[in-house]
Amino acid sequence: MVYVIFKVTKENTGRINNLLKDDVVSRQSIIIRDANALDVKGDETYLKIEGSTEGLKRAEELAKEAGFTRLNDKEASEINKKIEEQEDSAATGMGMIFD
Dist. CA 1–CA 75, nearest whole Å: 18
Check the CA dihedral 30-34-39-42 and report its sign.
positive
| Count of CB atoms situated within 10 Å of the CB of 42 | 13
CATH number of 2-98: 3.30.70.3450
- Work out the pLDDT band at 92, boundaries 50, 70, 90: low
Given a cut of 60, whether residue 93 has pLDDT beyond it is no
Please state the pTM of the whole predicted model: 0.87
Write the pLDDT tens digit of every residue in 47-79: 999 999 999 999 999 999 999 999 999 999 999
Residue boundaries of the structural domains of the chain: 2-98
H or E segment to which residue 29 belongs = strand 29-34
On the CB side of 36, CA atoms within 13 Å amount to 2
